[in-house]
Structure 1
């Protein structure tokens, strides 16, 4: 999901550094150093806000001048599916892995070079309304989180953020009039928690940013609330490294990198968000035992459907609920594949 400009900036920096001490390495990419890129172009590409298909494809690494210097090494065995499996399940696992690859390559159903409806196997479908943990948009995720928090026993505790313009911003009368505190409180910006954060003991939460990487407190780390205080929240890490480690989370002052508004704002809030459910983009890179996908609207970006079905270790760990606004259940959904991204691999 990294924009090609990040790699190109690293390339130019390393060329500049190497040129000063080793003139014979001027023309070599990355100053002659070996760089290993890891990833899957079937998955979600760099996120370009309101970007067109052309803009998204052009932001990918294989659209960069660096790509002609790369040698592609392909992995041939799906280790995620084979870990801990029984010999009797190998045939089913192989078939499931092949189905995942066909979905990612746009080979299911008719020829797919964009968006096309595909049939979902019956054993993966949920035919009645049940809980799900992955969804395509933040609005759907928020509705699931709110409903499941209400069903969790215990008393709710509400934390409100303190929002203001950054001190670096000019405190002009126009800025103060356009962005008073009540307007800032209602903004939903990427990487920031909600102004009104409602929590309960036992609720699962996720960190939206890196806090302490050495202790496993990174962007995407999931925790379980154990105590709710006035100035700190105690939680237990439940994913990745340092599982079962208890940590204290305090309020932080955060500034979003979102360019939706012309001024910089500062928010003071606990860096936590509920994660009974989470967006498909946020789940990328994680291995999960069970995934429930809730699709009240189709996926809208390349690789989102592929990311969901490849999070689980076996077919039994995946369930999909496809419905519309009237709660009518369907067996088909949209798959998005851009063939031009996959052609030069």
Structure 2
């Protein structure tokens, strides 16, 4: 840390302000032996660059109000007064590499997204506003909008599912895990291959991991199997050859098997799954996945759940926080 010249912290708006303040105190303690003035400068005098967008997800405060969330953000920290704000003006995701014929349309869409994020659409408002969605991004079929969305995002699915770039470039974002499950179940019916079902082995932790007065007899295996938690595979995992899946844990970072890596199922064995990497830095690499014991990070649970299952989830559709 003493030899560090620059620290870059990405997605800073999503982190609680206490994390930045802890780093500030730690650097001051580490560097006070090198520079006696370090305690008077933010982060001990080191240059720290925070990347991110406050229009996106702010720190998650369970059961917190709007004021609780704002108060936990970086801009509410005493360090914020020492920050210099630099604004990016070009949407690299939409405009770089885009065809000249589509550049004007992409730029118009990028400006519309910025106006939504800034809250300038819909006239003056106090935080709630009615925004008119452009017709070219609306689903016209109101009888079955989900099927219409599937046809739009995944055209000619059976003709292209062997093409790696086909799944790299598209995904359906949904706000809730229930919606994701419904869309993924629909997609599975489109594939001609036979379904393979994998069931997890669920159990609770030792008695010392639960609170006082906890009765383990009330939590049957059926209850544990029915728990659907964020960041955890479901008890029943249904797969077919060719289906895209997403890793839910870091397995082998050197070979690109990280949380969020997208894979494609090549073979479904009884005790293993062969997959091919279709995103990240090791595209085309094949590997085998086995069951592993997973524990959720949800603090609402009054006990420690242990689920032995393949650490993947079908990802035709995914929640917004996994985009």
Query: After TM superposition, is the score higher than 0.5?
Result: yes
TM-score normalised according to structure 2 size: 0.82
- 1:21 deviates by 4.4
User: In the alignment, which residue of structure 1 is the partner of 2:227?
Assistant: 187
CA contact (8 A) 1:159 1:197 kept: yes
1:152 to 191, 213, 219: 191
- 1:85 deviates by 2.3
The separation in 2 between residues aligned to 1:209 and 1:80, in whole angstroms, is 26
1:131 to 112, 133, 149: 149
CA RMSD of aligned residues (A): 2.0
- Deviation per residue, 1:121-174 (Å, 9 max, x gap): 111112123134111111111111111112221111111111112235269894
CA contact (8 A) 1:106 1:113 kept: no
- 1:103 deviates by 1.0
The separation in 1 between residues aligned to 2:310 and 2:251, in whole angstroms, is 11
User: In the alignment, which residue of structure 2 is the partner of 1:143?
Assistant: 182
204 and 86 in structure 1: CA distance in 2 versus 1, 3 angstrom threshold:
closer
The separation in 2 between residues aligned to 1:255 and 1:21, in whole angstroms, is 42
The separation in 1 between residues aligned to 2:185 and 2:99, in whole angstroms, is 38
The separation in 1 between residues aligned to 2:104 and 2:97, in whole angstroms, is 14
The separation in 2 between residues aligned to 1:42 and 1:173, in whole angstroms, is 43
User: In the alignment, which residue of structure 1 is the partner of 2:240?
Assistant: 200
Is 1:272 matched with 2:285?
no
88 and 143 in structure 1: CA distance in 2 versus 1, 3 angstrom threshold:
closer
Is 1:94 matched with 2:107?
yes
The separation in 2 between residues aligned to 1:20 and 1:94, in whole angstroms, is 51
Is 1:10 matched with 2:47?
no
Q: How many residues align?
A: 283
Structure with greater contact order relative to length (CA < 8 Å, sep ≥ 6) = 1
The separation in 2 between residues aligned to 1:31 and 1:260, in whole angstroms, is 37
The separation in 2 between residues aligned to 1:172 and 1:93, in whole angstroms, is 57
User: In the alignment, which residue of structure 1 is the partner of 2:6?
Assistant: none
Is 1:116 matched with 2:168?
no
User: In the alignment, which residue of structure 2 is the partner of 1:336?
Assistant: none
TM-score normalised according to structure 1 size: 0.77
CA contact (8 A) 2:246 2:262 kept: yes
Is 1:76 matched with 2:116?
no
User: In the alignment, which residue of structure 1 is the partner of 2:55?
Assistant: 42
The separation in 2 between residues aligned to 1:253 and 1:144, in whole angstroms, is 27
For 1:201-280, list aligned pairs within 5 A.
201-280=241-320
**5+ residue gaps in structure 1?**
284-345
